[in-house]
Amino acid sequence: MRVLLVHPSPLMYSEIYLRLEPLGLERVATAIAAAGHDVRLLDLQIFRHRDYVHELDAFRPEAVGFSLNYLANVPEVLDLARETKRRLPRCFVFAGGHSGSFIAPEILEHARGAVDCVVRGEGEAIAPRVLEALFDPRLETLPGVVTRHGAGPAPTLADDLDRFPPARHLTRRRRKYFIGVLDPCASAEFTRGCPWDCSFCSAWTFYGRSYRKTSPEAAAEDLARVEEPNVFLVDDVAFVQPEHGYAIGRELERRGIRKEYYLETRCDVLVKNREVFAYWKRLGLHYMFLGLEALDEEGLRLHRKRVTPNENLRALEIARELGLTVAVNIIAEPDWDERRFAIVREWALTVPEIVHLTVATPYPGTETWLTESRRLTSLDYRLFDVQHAVLPTRLPLRRFYEELVRTQEVLNRKHLGVAALRDVAAIALRLALRGQTNFLRSLWKFRRVYNVERQWSDHQQPVTYAMRPPAAPGSPRPRQSELFVHVPVRR
Ligand code: B12
Ligand code: SF4
Ligand nearest to the CA of 205: 2
User: Residue 246: is it exposed, middle or buried by C-beta count within 10 angstroms (0-12/13-18/19+)?
Assistant: middle
Q: Is the CB of 198 under 6 A from ligand 2?
A: yes
- Nearest atom (ligand 1) to Cα of 366: 90
State the Rg of the chain over Cα: 22
Answer whether the bond into residue 184 is a cis peptide, omega within 30°: yes
Q: Which of 18, 69, 212 to mutate to test the pocket of ligand 1 (most atoms within 8 A of CB)?
A: 69
**Whole-number Å distance between alpha carbons of 311 and 320:** 14
Can you give the residue range of the structural domain that contains 28?
A: 2-151
What's the pLDDT at 132? 96
453: domain CATH number is: 3.80.30.20
pLDDT digits (tens, 9 = 90+) for 8-53: 999 876 667 889 999 999 999 999 999 999 999 999 999 999 999 9
Do 95 and 63 meet the contact criterion of CB atoms below 8 Å apart? no
Say if residue 438 is in the same domain as residue 294: yes
71: domain CATH number is: 3.40.50.280
What's the pLDDT at 472? 62
Do 363 and 391 meet the contact criterion of CB atoms below 8 Å apart? no
What's the pLDDT at 474? 55
Say if residue 102 is in the same domain as residue 205: no
Say if residue 247 is in the same domain as residue 321: yes
- Nearest atom (ligand 2) to Cα of 204: 5
Q: Is the CB of 236 under 6 A from ligand 2?
A: yes
CA of 68 to the centre of ligand 1 (A): 8
Say if residue 440 is in the same domain as residue 368: yes
What's the pLDDT at 424? 67
What's the pLDDT at 451? 84
- 144 in a domain, yes or no? yes
Say if residue 277 is in the same domain as residue 139: no
Q: Which of 9, 98, 147, 168 to mutate to test the pocket of ligand 1 (most atoms within 8 A of CB)?
A: 98
Average pLDDT per consecutive 10 residues, the chain (491 residues; last block may be shorter) = 97 78 98 98 97 98 98 98 98 98 97 98 98 92 96 93 98 94 95 94 94 97 98 98 98 98 97 98 96 86 89 95 93 95 93 90 91 88 96 97 92 67 69 73 68 92 93 62 82 53
- Nearest atom (ligand 2) to Cα of 202: 6
**Whole-number Å distance between alpha carbons of 191 and 212:** 5
Do 235 and 191 meet the contact criterion of CB atoms below 8 Å apart? yes
- 110 in a domain, yes or no? yes
Instruction: Kindly tell me the sign of the dihedral angle through the C-alpha atoms of 264, 121, 469, 367.
Output: negative
**Whole-number Å distance between alpha carbons of 199 and 202:** 8
Show Cβ contacts of residue 298 under 8 Å, excluding neighbours closer than 6 positions. Answer: none
Say if residue 213 is in the same domain as residue 129: no
**What is the number of structural domains in the chain?**
2
- 439 in a domain, yes or no? yes
Residue with the smallest CA separation from ligand 2 atom 3 is: 196
Q: Could you give phi then psi for residue 219, rounded to 5 degrees?
A: -60, -45
Say if residue 147 is in the same domain as residue 180: no
pTM for the full model? 0.95
Final residue in a domain of this structure, among 151, 184, 209:
151
Q: Is the CB of 266 under 6 A from ligand 2?
A: yes
Say if residue 203 is in the same domain as residue 119: no
**Whole-number Å distance between alpha carbons of 116 and 118:** 7
CA of 213 to the centre of ligand 2 (A): 17
Residue with the smallest CA separation from ligand 1 atom 27 is: 24
Ligand nearest to the CA of 98: 1
Q: Is the CB of 194 under 6 A from ligand 2?
A: yes
Ligand nearest to the CA of 329: 1
CA of 100 to the centre of ligand 1 (A): 11
Ligand nearest to the CA of 234: 1
CA of 433 to the centre of ligand 1 (A): 32
What's the pLDDT at 316? 95
pLDDT digits (tens, 9 = 90+) for 52-74: 999 999 999 999 999 999 999 99
CA of 366 to the centre of ligand 2 (A): 11
Bridge partners, 3 (sequence order) = 39, 63
Q: What is the DSSP letter of 417?
A: S
CA of 474 to the centre of ligand 2 (A): 22
What's the pLDDT at 371? 84
Q: Is the CB of 203 under 6 A from ligand 2?
A: yes
Residue with the smallest CA separation from ligand 1 atom 30 is: 24
Ligand nearest to the CA of 198: 2
What's the pLDDT at 481? 66
Say if residue 342 is in the same domain as residue 203: yes
- 262 in a domain, yes or no? yes
